[in-house]
Amino acid sequence: MAAETDSVDPFYALYKDAGIVPIELLTNGILAMICFVGICLNSALVHTTIKTKSLCSKCNILIALYAFCASFMLIGYSIKFFVFLFGINYLTLGTCFYIQFVPFVGVNAATTLQLCIGIDRMAGVIWPIW
C-alpha cells in the first residue's frame, strides 16, 4: 500500500503539510499586487470609456469590454496568494474548478474580444470608411 501514499511529485511531499511557505507567499504576493494595479487600471479604462462620449466608438467599447474581462483573469492570478496566505498548499481538483471558473470564463471572453478588436482594426485599415 506504500505505492498509494507515495506521490510522483517530490514537491507534494515537501509542501503538503508545510503550512505557510514564505517564498511562495512572497512571489505570489508580488504577483497579487501587480494584478491589483492592473485591475484598478482596467476599471479606470472602463469608467473613462463609459463617461466620455468621444470614446463610445465600436473599437473603444470593444477595448473597454476586453479590459473588463481581463480583470477577471487578473483576479484568477491573484487567488494563489490568498490560498497560500491561509497555509493551504494544495487544493482538490473540484475546489480548484469552482475557484477558477469565473477567471476561466474571463480569459476566454478576453481572448475572443482580442480577436474582434484585431478584426475591427484590420477592417479599418483595409476599408478606411469602416
**All structural domains of the chain with their residue ranges:** 18-126
pLDDT (mean) for 2-24: 73
Each residue of 37-77: pLDDT tens digit?
A: 999 999 999 999 999 999 988 889 999 999 999 999 999 99
Question: How would residue 7 be classed by pLDDT, with cut points 50, 70 and 90?
Answer: low
pLDDT of residue 3 exceeding 60, the answer is: no
Long-range contacts of 20-28 (CB under 8 A, 24+ apart): 20/84, 20/85, 20/87, 21/84, 21/89, 24/84, 24/89, 25/81, 25/84, 25/85, 28/78, 28/80, 28/81, 28/84
pLDDT (mean) for 24-28: 90
Distance (Å, whole) CA 107 – CA 101: 10
Question: How would residue 1 be classed by pLDDT, with cut points 50, 70 and 90?
Answer: very low
Say how many CA atoms lie within 13 Å of 126 toward its Cβ: 6
Residue 103 · residue 75 · CB < 8 Å: yes
With a threshold of 0.85, does the pTM exceed it? no
Distance (Å, whole) CA 28 – CA 82: 9
pLDDT (mean) for 123-129: 89
